[in-house]
Amino acid sequence: MSEIGTSVGLQKHTGRQPRTSEYVRRQELKGIRKIFGLGVLAVVVILGVESFSSYVLYRHFSRLNHSFYPVGSATLALARHVVSKAKGRHDDVDLSIDHGPLFRADEALGYTMYPGKYQITEKRYGKTHRFNLTVNDLGSRVASDRPSAASKRLYMAGDSAMFGWGLNDDQTMPWLLQTRFPQYEVVNLSLTSYSTIQALQQLQHTSPKIGADDIVVLTYHPITNGFNVVSAEMLGYLKSGFEHQLGDEKLVHDMAVPFGTVGSGGELVIGHYPIACAQQGKAPAVCPRRPTPAEATQVTERAFDEILASQPGHVVVALLSGPDSDPVVRHLKSKGVMIADMRTDSSDPDATDEVSIDEHAGPFWHRMVAERLGDALLKSGLIN
């Protein structure tokens, strides 16, 4: 009986073992298939998110007509871009300089430049761009490689469009005009984010004083209105842009940018807005009130009026953009101001020429606009 029992026991044991092993193998295969399926799903989701991010970036930059050179994940690039905008940063160009700093605080103008020769490196979206910048002893960008002996001067005031940020010295509009008109000394008063208010202050303290035979060229485009009242957009640039990245340690803390308001009698009143106010998230009570966008147009008009009234030289306004119906343009025309039309359109071969890194106007645009401005000065008879 024991042998029979043992035989039955072995039969029962050998009968169960195959089923148990097969069950385990099926469970293992099921687990592997599940992990594989989750992996495939994850890859599909990642590719889907990357495709969506790539499409969003493509549409965004193509709408702006800007070049974009992604490196790595498009999703991370999009996230960085969104976070940058959420923090109020209006540009995401990373800057470095061969020696520095470049910018320093100025009691009247808000900020100026240290004299010297600099090489500036810009990095953005995986691309690198370098340009050379020379600042003379007066804190202005040079318009020639040697001092001018001319007795008459051509002053050029404006923001980064006139300054030629991203370009070498000899590619900028003031340099090209100095080459064309050697009988004038071209004085480049422009600087990044400078306004008509700052141009007014510069012209009031120019040494030597402006004479009757001198010419003053002022730039205007719609963004000028915001600069004249220190708009939120301008504050975003100053808090995180070129000046902040290339300024000395005290720049943002000490910088108070001039802005205009219209007094009760219609006169222009100039105040200073400390950038430190904007650094604190909300402006403290001690910070001055800035005019609204609706008031900005009036401020720009009053600033131009003061320049016209105080300068013995010939004043020319270089119109870079904006419609003929722009209220400031209409105001200037009513005053008989000479307006040199520098605007470009799609028919111009270099209308969209830009420095790919920082999106400022490129060398071909500067050459075209310099030719237009020079032709306008000759046609008007201001330059013989």
Q: Give the residue among 198, 266, 267 at the shortest CA–CA distance from 234.
A: 198
Q: Is the pLDDT of residue 307 over 90?
A: yes
pLDDT reported for residue 89: 47
Q: Give the residue among 105, 57, 101 at the shortest CA–CA distance from 82.
A: 57
374-383: average pLDDT: 96
| CA–CA gap between residue 68 and residue 130 (Å, rounded) | 18
Using one digit for the tens of pLDDT, what is the confidence trace for 4-43? 455 545 455 555 555 678 877 777 788 888 888 888 888 8
Residue 331 corresponds to which amino acid?
A: H
pLDDT reported for residue 98: 96
Question: What DSSP state is assigned to residue 141?
Answer: B
Using one digit for the tens of pLDDT, what is the confidence trace for 94-131? 899 999 899 999 999 999 999 999 999 998 877 899 99
Using one digit for the tens of pLDDT, what is the confidence trace for 220-267? 999 999 999 999 888 877 877 788 899 988 887 889 999 999 999 999
| CA–CA gap between residue 213 and residue 358 (Å, rounded) | 37
Instruction: Name the pTM for this structure.
Output: 0.79
Q: Give the residue among 167, 112, 141, 142 at the shortest CA–CA distance from 360.
A: 167
Exposed e or buried b per residue across 153-171, where buried means at least 16 C-beta atoms within 10 angstroms of its C-beta: bbbbbbbbbbbbbbbebbb
Using one digit for the tens of pLDDT, what is the confidence trace for 51-88? 877 777 667 666 655 556 566 777 776 676 666 655 54
pLDDT reported for residue 10: 47
Q: Is the pLDDT of residue 208 over 70?
A: yes
Q: Cβ–Cβ contacts within 10 Å for residue 135, how many?
A: 20
Q: Is the peptide bond before 208 cis (omega within 30 degrees of 0)?
A: yes
Cα 222 to the center of its chain, rounded Å:
15
SS3 at position 195: coil
Cα 26 to the center of its chain, rounded Å:
62
Q: Could you tell me the two tokens for 118?
A: 């600099």
pLDDT above 90 coverage of the chain, percent = 55
- Residue where the block lists tokens 């001039």: 258
